[in-house]
């Protein structure tokens, strides 16, 4: 392997690990500065913002990566530039719709979530979706240049800005924290946008031309990716919202703390997943399907080894970690955090499932697998959350994760059989295909 590739991978890991560390510090800062009740409000509004953003902001990033690599492989620069122009327009429209929905929800937020003081924080947070909309388009341009290292460091920059915004804003109150986050997001988008534009301009100049014969496939890819992301958002964003409805905003605050192990394990695989998305999508478009599947196997075995070693250590250390990081008032989240940790270890092994459907051009696989997961998760969060609060919600996460894992075992087995049979998967493309 070329030394330059190794340097980029190490730089990617450093940037992404730093970004996750800064993100965790942001959560810790919010919990410490705001206190239990206000942090519950903060977590509830953040969950609603994430839900609105994901449901109404179309997922075009995956199609940018998949079709972007296709056009780069075919040297079809006109379509490449048209693809990015249309993607930016779609992202801005989706972000604007999410902002409108948040403003509409603000007057009824207190009654809807059974809390107090949620209206103004939601108004302050409403601009976040539209301000963040262009960021992932810029990131996709960097991936097409193979600069996942820059993507990692730009993400660190974003999280550093967010941390500063939380520290400054939370010292005033929940609404001020979201107002500061909006200002920080504006700065982050400007920085990442400049980097993405520079990367895109390094491709040969060409007059943007219509997508043409790829239009139907591209639209189908965008729709399926958006539906898949919407399903995932129901798992990630609607679960704390439902817990708040069933058990109150304080339990949502505990829930946010309990999810910290999941964030940590996800961070452990983030650099590898970003490299997999970039390099395996490129390989698949050049007809190297068997190499992609070997990479999936190597990742799974390595992640399983990490999980086996680290899981017992963190299970034992969890009470100490929660007390030291978040404070003694969050100790009721310890049992839930341990349960989430087990689910997170399973997801660590399955980390490749985030990029693999994009790589092979089958985003519907995410709809199926995450759909099964969500169908199990959401009713259990309501039922078990109402009875046992955050601990019940954690059990719901574990059960749904096991269902998700079983689904992917079946799916991957079928894809391996297709590749062995040579059914046209991973075939190289040309400019006229």
Number of domains in the chain: 1
Q: Does residue 416 fall inside a structural domain?
A: yes
Sign for the pseudo-dihedral over CA of 206, 212, 213, 218: positive
Q: Does residue 427 fall inside a structural domain?
A: no
Q: Does residue 430 fall inside a structural domain?
A: no
Alpha carbon distance 201, 194 (integer Å): 11
The predicted model scores a pTM of 0.65
Q: Does residue 246 fall inside a structural domain?
A: yes
Q: Which residues does 376 contact at the CB level (< 8 Å), separation at least 6? A: 396, 399, 400, 403
Q: Does residue 225 fall inside a structural domain?
A: yes
Q: Does residue 433 fall inside a structural domain?
A: no
* 134 to 67, 137, 278, 432: CA distances (angstroms): 18, 5, 20, 30
Mean pLDDT (whole number) for 239-264 = 82
Q: For the segment 311-355, what is each residue's pLDDT rounded down to a tens digit?
A: 999 999 999 988 888 888 888 889 999 999 999 999 989 988 888
Domain of residue 35: give its range. 3-421
Q: For the segment 89-139, what is each residue's pLDDT rounded down to a tens digit?
A: 888 888 899 899 999 988 888 887 766 788 899 999 999 999 998 888 888
pLDDT at 6: 67
Chain centroid, CA 98 distance in Å: 17
Q: For the segment 227-248, what is each residue's pLDDT rounded down to a tens digit?
A: 877 777 667 777 887 888 888 7
Q: Does residue 373 fall inside a structural domain?
A: yes
């Amino acid at each position: 392997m070329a030394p330059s590739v190794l340097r980029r991978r190490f730089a990617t890991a450093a940037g992404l690990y730093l970004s996750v560390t800064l993100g965790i510090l942001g959560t810790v800062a919010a919990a410490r500065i705001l206190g239990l009740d206000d942090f519950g409000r903060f977590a509830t509004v953040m969950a609603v913002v994430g839900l609105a953003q994901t449901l109404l902001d179309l997922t075009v990033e995956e199609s940018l990566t998949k079709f972007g690599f296709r056009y780069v492989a075919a040297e079809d620069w006109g379509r490449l530039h048209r693809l990015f122009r249309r993607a930016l327009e779609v992202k801005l429209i989706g972000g604007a719709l999410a902002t409108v929905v948040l403003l509409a929800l603000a007057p009824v937020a207190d009654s809807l979530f059974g809390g107090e003081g949620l209206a103004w924080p939601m108004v302050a947070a409403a601009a976040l979706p539209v301000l963040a909309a262009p960021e992932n388009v810029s990131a996709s341009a960097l991936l097409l240049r193979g600069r996942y290292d820059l993507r990692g460091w730009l993400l660190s920059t974003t999280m550093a800005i967010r941390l500063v915004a939380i520290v400054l804003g939370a010292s005033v109150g929940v609404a001020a924290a979201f107002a500061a986050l909006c200002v920080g997001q504006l700065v982050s988008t400007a920085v990442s946008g400049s980097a993405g534009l520079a990367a895109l301009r390094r491709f040969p100049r060409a007059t943007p031309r219509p997508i043409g014969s790829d239009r139907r496939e591209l639209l189908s890819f965008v729709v399926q990716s958006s539906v898949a992301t919407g399903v995932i958002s129901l798992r990630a964003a609607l679960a704390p919202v439902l817990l708040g409805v069933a058990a109150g905003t304080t339990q949502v605050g505990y829930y946010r703390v309990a999810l910290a192990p999941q964030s940590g394990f996800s961070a452990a695989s983030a650099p590898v997943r970003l490299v997999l998305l970039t390099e395996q999508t490129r390989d698949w478009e050049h007809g190297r399907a068997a190499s992609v599947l070997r990479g999936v196997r190597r990742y799974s075995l390595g992640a399983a080894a990490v999980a086996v070693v680290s899981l017992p250590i963190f299970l034992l250390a969890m009470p100490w970690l929660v007390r030291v990081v978040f404070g003694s008032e969050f100790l009721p989240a310890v049992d839930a955090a341990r349960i989430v940790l087990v689910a997170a270890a399973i997801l660590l092994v399955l980390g490749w499932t985030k990029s693999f459907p994009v790589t092979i051009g089958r985003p519907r696989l995410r709809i199926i697998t995450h759909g099964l997961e969500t169908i199990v998760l959401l009713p259990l969060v309501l039922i078990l959350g109402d009875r046992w609060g955050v601990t019940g919600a954690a059990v719901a996460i574990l059960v749904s994760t096991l269902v998700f894992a079983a689904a992917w075992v079946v799916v991957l087995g079928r894809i391996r059989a297709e590749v062995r049979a040579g059914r046209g998967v991973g075939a190289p493309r040309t400019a006229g295909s």
